[in-house]
A and B are shown apart, each in its own frame.
Chain A
Amino acid sequence: MTILNRKVFRELARMRGQVIAITLVMACGIMVYVSSRHTYIALLESQESYYTSYRFADVFAGIKRAPAPVAERIARIPGVSSVRTRIVMDVNLDVPGLDEPAIGRLVSMPDVRRPVLNDIAIQEGRYPAVGRPEEVIISEAFALANGLVPDAWIGAVINGRRKALRVVGIGLSPEYVYEVQGSGSIFPDNLRFGVIWMSRDALGAAFDMEGGFNDLAVALSPDARERDVIDRMDLILEPYGSAGAFGRGSQISHKFLSDEILGLSVSSNVTPTIFLGIAAILLHIVFSRMVRAQRDQIAIMKAFGYRNLSIGWHYLKFAFLAVSGGTLLGIVGGFWIGRPLTGMYQAYYRFPDLVYELHVDVITLAAVISVFAALAGTLHALRSAMALPPAEAMRPESPPHFRPLAMERMGLHRMLSPVWRMIFRNMERRPARTMLSAFGIAMSVAILVMGRFTFDSIDYMIDYQFRTVQRDNAAVVFAGPRPARARFELAHLPGVVRSEPYRAVPVRLRAGHLVKQTAITGLDPAGELRQLIDRDGRVQSLPPEGIVLNKTLADLLAVREGDMLAVEVQEGSRMRGSLPVTLIVDELIGTTAYMDSRALNRFLGEGRTISGAYLSVDPLRAAELYSTLKETPAVAGVAVREAVIKGFEDTIAESTNATTFTLTIFACVIACGMVYNGARIALAERNREMASLRVLGFTEREISVVLLGEQAIITLFSIPIGFLIGWALCYLAVDATAQELFRMPLVITWKTYAFAFLVVTSAAVASAYIVHRKLRYLDLVGVLKTQE
């Protein structure tokens, strides 16, 4: 080994504290990159291969009922490569062991198994046998949540008749990777919603649809234009009660999964960039200091004839060695934690097989990135080492030049003791370093804020939507419109404290060229179980006339209060008319429109008709009520509010804890790295000052104020900046994720801020303490006998 290399290794060993700090920050960055990139690729590849293997359709349409020949007309549309007609119906289920009714989505399958669009991947059991109408396959998430295995029986109310279904298989479908019922529900509730695949003959007979269908899945040829196909399909399907065809982009499961993958792709680049940026800042601070401290050594090497390049290379080796450990640790650790991270997604997204494998290109890129971070961080120090003329370098660095600065000009220094003047002047003298340190610590705060924001936001969203806007315990949906007196039948059921009927009707809303498919919900104007809240957070009463839109829907249609909307009813009379927008309300989930139920009945030209009711339920008698509802043929579905929220909160709590734990560690690493390095360098640079103060009679505690006061101020100054950066990053995240299905509110609780504050200050105090202990070994005599 050459002498210079030996110098590299010995000095790295001497600076091990700082090297460890850099290594850990680097490791975090690379770890996040490698793990999230591997997870991203795993999800993306699993999605692609799943969609291909099980023939996920490109265009979908739901209709009232159409005869079989219609499918042939669709198949003749240019660009359509294959068509699958189905019967799809949501029914009330009676699941053994579950008090409240569940909703089953019955999806027809060919009686004899053959490859079809949106095929099933059977995970367990078998395909239903021909001539066995009771045999069904159920979705895996639903089976797991309810502990259902092949040979289990479930009850279903099909077209008003109670039937027993026998589970023969457990399956998955690319159509339900994210298994939610519809646009109103955005969180999977696997206990109370499941997909049930059963024989076409059995379903057709049950719903009087022999020879007909009510759902279409269409595959396109590679050169097809989706928009054109959708337009032509809409023309053909219009007379059959079509709610409008839509592409994959609007298919709920696909939309959630794609958004998730896209989000992961963004965060797999953003988060590591933050870490690597901080690693570069640390390298910059440490190496600039090292080159300054080694001026005389650089001079001697140059005097002996070392070329500038070899000196630059010498210091670059330091940097590479300092980051190589972190890179290696990050690559190994990242690949290792990527697997459970990918697994975490399986709680929400179900694939037949999630392929997690090593990607050499990711690893290579990680190594290249870390080399760039090392170069970026040391460039400044390298240049100054190389530019130092030998004679200049032999002289000690000129004494630090202090001038009256901003503090003096403002006269603030008079309020400070000499010790605090020293602290502030030191910070002012190296503004770049102070700012970089502050930035590093601020980023660790921001990472914590951002990490916990998601959960604050979802918490708020659940609370707002399910406790402030929707105040019912359960919502009952009838199998079809019923006369208004049905509400009294409901009101007399056991445990019902209050029942408020509603009328829901599917519509197409049109404002100029903007069209939106949704439903108008007619509410009881005297009702209390649905609250309308305007954009200023005030509760508004339901206007007796006109239509109320939620903000998302109003934005999609670009309408304001007072504008007129064209309304095309998608059921029954299929009448058309127009209504004024009388109120815009703030809701976070879905695209909803409301009307006074009497005004809606009038608009539809019908008598007092209702589609279901919101119920307030006595919790003690809830079980009794739900079991009664399960047996009631007229009830097509019951959505139980608290149970859904509880289930979702439990699921999300798991990932919250894992994420918070990881981010806390990462933020601690950054905060510790910044504070430790800052204090360590301050100690090295101001060794002499500290010793002088000790000689003058200052105690260890007093000089540690001088040394660590700077770090304390930087930390305290960085925390509010970190809050701001965190807030801004959350704002961007909210903006990027705003979509039709739900809007994440920009809510960050004081708990999150307090948590970030506590974590970062604790990390700072701990690292400052390590440096404080070194003050005990200050060599008072030695330092004073030598010239600086």
Chain B
Amino acid sequence: MTVDQASPVFRARRISKVYRMGEVDVSALRGVDLDLFAGELAVFLGASGSGKSTLLNILGGLDVPTDGQVYYRERELTAADERERTDFRRKSVGFVFQFYNLIPSLTALENVELVTEIADDPMPAIDALRLVELEPRMHHFPAQMSGGEQQRVAIARAIAKRPEVLLCDEPTGALDYATGKRVLEVIEKVNSTLGTTTAVITHNAAIADMADRVIRLRSGEIVEVYANPTKKRPDELSW
């Protein structure tokens, strides 16, 4: 998959985010500038509280910055209202979270169909499950699946609408070593076969080795951005 440096999918300019926690203001992001390019797999590294999740939530239209602008293509997300942000999430973004967030009352297939129903040009739900190699388990409910399987369903659900970007927040955080790697393989496969711009948040530095680009955050600021010329396959990673 080629990375098109000329056309950023996301452009974030001087974004900051201040949370009010009780009577104290906490700065989660302090004037961050960032571009994400079409087709790249970017890994955001940082310790807990570094602001990486906040950044991802803002890019995904889940949250709005206190200050600064975020553009998705030509559209200014920071000027969008709640309805437009919902529409943006519905059409353009796929999310994967640490705790899967599947709907317990729906089977694997149905969890995916939940999204394909409201998307404009989805892939068949069964294809998405095939991509994450869960076709044989598609009629199982979340409670009947392992954590790794649930996370793969979450990925299938995220990509089934053919989103332009896939945002993964600690996708392996709740998984053991082997299962975690299996999930990373699926993410890598989505990125390389579908060309989905992918951002993965992690505090696990080893995962950075599978990225096209690594963005390191600390205390709400980007402290380092570097390209990774020696991209590894997930099965080559170890931690």
Residues on A facing B (Cβ under 8 Å) = 399-404, 417-419, 421-422, 425-426, 429, 688-689, 691-700, 702, 780-781, 784-788
Q: Give the CA-CA distance A395 to B11 in the complex, in Å.
A: 42
A341 to chain B, nearest CB (A): 48
Chain B contacts with A in 100-120, Cβ cutoff 8 A:
101-106, 110-111, 113-115, 117-118
Q: Once the chains bind, are A697 and B53 in contact (CB under 8 Å)?
A: no
A775 to chain B, nearest CB (A): 12
15 contacts between A and B (CB under 8 A): A399-B143, A401-B141, A402-B141, A418-B114, A689-B103, A692-B102, A695-B101, A697-B118, A698-B90, A698-B118, A700-B86, A780-B63, A785-B97, A785-B98, A788-B99
Q: Once the chains bind, are A399 and B89 in contact (CB under 8 Å)?
A: no
Chain B contacts with A in 73-99, Cβ cutoff 8 A:
83, 86-91, 93, 95, 97-99
Q: A400-B143, A426-B105 known; 10 other A-B pairs, CB under 8 Å? A: A399-B104, A421-B106, A422-B103, A691-B101, A696-B89, A696-B115, A697-B86, A698-B90, A784-B169, A787-B174
Q: Once the chains bind, are A696 and B99 in contact (CB under 8 Å)?
A: no
Q: Give the CA-CA distance A425 to B103 in the complex, in Å.
A: 11
Q: Once the chains bind, are B105 and A421 in contact (CB under 8 Å)?
A: yes
B194: Cβ under 8 A from any A Cβ: no
Q: Give the CA-CA distance A609 to B157 in the complex, in Å.
A: 95
Known: A695-B62, A699-B83. A787 touches B110 (CB 8 A): no
Determine which of B89, B101, B114, B174 lies in contact with A784 in the assembled complex, contact meaning CB atoms within 8 Å. B101
B64 to chain A, nearest CB (A): 11
Known: A695-B62, A697-B89, A781-B57. A688 touches B101 (CB 8 A): yes
Determine which of B60, B105, B117 lies in contact with A400 in the assembled complex, contact meaning CB atoms within 8 Å. B105
Q: Give the CA-CA distance A694 to B83 in the complex, in Å.
A: 11
Closest-by-CB residue of A relative to B174 is: A787
A-chain residues with CB within 8 Å of residue B62 when the two chains form the complex: 695, 780-781
Q: Give the CA-CA distance A700 to B86 in the complex, in Å.
A: 9
A-chain residues with CB within 8 Å of residue B174 when the two chains form the complex: 787
Q: Give the CA-CA distance A418 to B105 in the complex, in Å.
A: 9
Determine which of B87, B88, B101 lies in contact with A692 in the assembled complex, contact meaning CB atoms within 8 Å. B101
Q: How large is the interface on B (under 10, 10 to 19, 20 to 34, 35 or more residues)?
A: 35 or more
Closest-by-CB residue of B relative to A402 is: B141
A-chain residues with CB within 8 Å of residue B114 when the two chains form the complex: 418-419, 693, 696
B-chain residues with CB within 8 Å of residue A785 when the two chains form the complex: 53, 97-98, 169
B220: Cβ under 8 A from any A Cβ: no
Q: Once the chains bind, are B63 and A781 in contact (CB under 8 Å)?
A: yes
Q: Once the chains bind, are B117 and A422 in contact (CB under 8 Å)?
A: no
Q: Give the CA-CA distance A698 to B103 in the complex, in Å.
A: 13
Q: Once the chains bind, are B89 and A400 in contact (CB under 8 Å)?
A: no
B171: Cβ under 8 A from any A Cβ: no
Q: Once the chains bind, are A399 and B90 in contact (CB under 8 Å)?
A: no
Q: Give the CA-CA distance A101 to B146 in the complex, in Å.
A: 91
Q: Once the chains bind, are A696 and B157 in contact (CB under 8 Å)?
A: yes
B-chain residues with CB within 8 Å of residue A697 when the two chains form the complex: 86-91, 93, 115, 118
A263 to chain B, nearest CB (A): 48
Closest-by-CB residue of A relative to B103 is: A689
Interface of A is mostly: helix
Closest-by-CB residue of B relative to A780 is: B62
Q: Once the chains bind, are A402 and B95 in contact (CB under 8 Å)?
A: no
Q: Once the chains bind, are A418 and B113 in contact (CB under 8 Å)?
A: yes
3 interchain residue pairs of minimum CB distance: A697-B90, A425-B105, A697-B89
Closest-by-CB residue of B relative to A400 is: B104
B142: Cβ under 8 A from any A Cβ: yes
Residues on B facing A (Cβ under 8 Å) = 53, 57, 60, 62-63, 83, 86-91, 93, 95, 97-99, 101-106, 110-111, 113-115, 117-118, 139, 141-143, 157, 169, 174
A-chain residues with CB within 8 Å of residue B101 when the two chains form the complex: 688, 691-692, 695, 784
A408 to chain B, nearest CB (A): 9
A-chain residues with CB within 8 Å of residue B169 when the two chains form the complex: 784-785
Determine which of B86, B88, B103, B113 lies in contact with A699 in the assembled complex, contact meaning CB atoms within 8 Å. B86
Q: Give the CA-CA distance A127 to B139 in the complex, in Å.
A: 93
Closest-by-CB residue of B relative to A697 is: B90
Known: A399-B142, A418-B117. A429 touches B95 (CB 8 A): no
B54 to chain A, nearest CB (A): 8
B99 to chain A, nearest CB (A): 5
A-chain residues with CB within 8 Å of residue B63 when the two chains form the complex: 780-781
Q: Give the CA-CA distance A402 to B144 in the complex, in Å.
A: 8
B-chain residues with CB within 8 Å of residue A422 when the two chains form the complex: 103, 105-106
Q: Give the CA-CA distance A418 to B118 in the complex, in Å.
A: 11
Q: Give the CA-CA distance A400 to B103 in the complex, in Å.
A: 10
A774 to chain B, nearest CB (A): 15
A696 to chain B, nearest CB (A): 6
A433 to chain B, nearest CB (A): 14
Q: Give the CA-CA distance A419 to B111 in the complex, in Å.
A: 10
Q: Once the chains bind, are A695 and B105 in contact (CB under 8 Å)?
A: no
B-chain residues with CB within 8 Å of residue A404 when the two chains form the complex: 139
B-chain residues with CB within 8 Å of residue A694 when the two chains form the complex: 86
Q: Give the CA-CA distance A150 to B178 in the complex, in Å.
A: 105
Q: Give the CA-CA distance A399 to B83 in the complex, in Å.
A: 32
Closest-by-CB residue of A relative to B90 is: A697
Closest-by-CB residue of B relative to A419 is: B114
A-chain residues with CB within 8 Å of residue B91 when the two chains form the complex: 697
Closest-by-CB residue of B relative to A688 is: B101
A-chain residues with CB within 8 Å of residue B83 when the two chains form the complex: 699
Q: Give the CA-CA distance A700 to B87 in the complex, in Å.
A: 11
Q: Give the CA-CA distance A781 to B53 in the complex, in Å.
A: 9
Q: Once the chains bind, are A429 and B105 in contact (CB under 8 Å)?
A: yes
B-chain residues with CB within 8 Å of residue A788 when the two chains form the complex: 99
Q: Give the CA-CA distance A403 to B144 in the complex, in Å.
A: 9
Q: Give the CA-CA distance A404 to B105 in the complex, in Å.
A: 10
Q: Once the chains bind, are B110 and A421 in contact (CB under 8 Å)?
A: yes
A-chain residues with CB within 8 Å of residue B118 when the two chains form the complex: 696-698, 702
Q: Once the chains bind, are A402 and B104 in contact (CB under 8 Å)?
A: yes
B-chain residues with CB within 8 Å of residue A400 when the two chains form the complex: 104-105, 143
B167 to chain A, nearest CB (A): 10
Closest-by-CB residue of B relative to A401 is: B143
A-chain residues with CB within 8 Å of residue B97 when the two chains form the complex: 784-785
B62 to chain A, nearest CB (A): 5
A-chain residues with CB within 8 Å of residue B139 when the two chains form the complex: 404
Q: Give the CA-CA distance A400 to B104 in the complex, in Å.
A: 7
Closest-by-CB residue of A relative to B91 is: A697
B96 to chain A, nearest CB (A): 10
Q: Which of B57, B101, B115 has the most CB of A within 10 A?
A: B101
Closest-by-CB residue of A relative to B93 is: A697
A-chain residues with CB within 8 Å of residue B98 when the two chains form the complex: 785
Known: A400-B104, A425-B105, A689-B103. A696 touches B90 (CB 8 A): yes
B-chain residues with CB within 8 Å of residue A692 when the two chains form the complex: 101-103
Closest-by-CB residue of B relative to A398 is: B143
Closest-by-CB residue of A relative to B54 is: A781
Q: Give the CA-CA distance A308 to B57 in the complex, in Å.
A: 43
Determine which of A418, A689, A696, A787 lies in contact with B95 in the assembled complex, contact meaning CB atoms within 8 Å. A696
Q: Give the CA-CA distance A784 to B141 in the complex, in Å.
A: 20
Q: Which of A692, A697, A780 has the most CB of B within 10 A?
A: A697
A772 to chain B, nearest CB (A): 15
Q: Once the chains bind, are B143 and A402 in contact (CB under 8 Å)?
A: yes
A-chain residues with CB within 8 Å of residue B90 when the two chains form the complex: 696-698
Closest-by-CB residue of B relative to A403 is: B141
Closest-by-CB residue of B relative to A423 is: B105
Q: Give the CA-CA distance A417 to B103 in the complex, in Å.
A: 14
Q: Give the CA-CA distance A786 to B106 in the complex, in Å.
A: 21
Known: A422-B106, A787-B174. A417 touches B141 (CB 8 A): no
Closest-by-CB residue of A relative to B57 is: A781
Q: Once the chains bind, are A695 and B143 in contact (CB under 8 Å)?
A: no
Q: Give the CA-CA distance A684 to B117 in the complex, in Å.
A: 26
B-chain residues with CB within 8 Å of residue A401 when the two chains form the complex: 141, 143
B-chain residues with CB within 8 Å of residue A695 when the two chains form the complex: 60, 62, 89, 95, 101
B-chain residues with CB within 8 Å of residue A418 when the two chains form the complex: 103, 106, 110-111, 113-114, 117
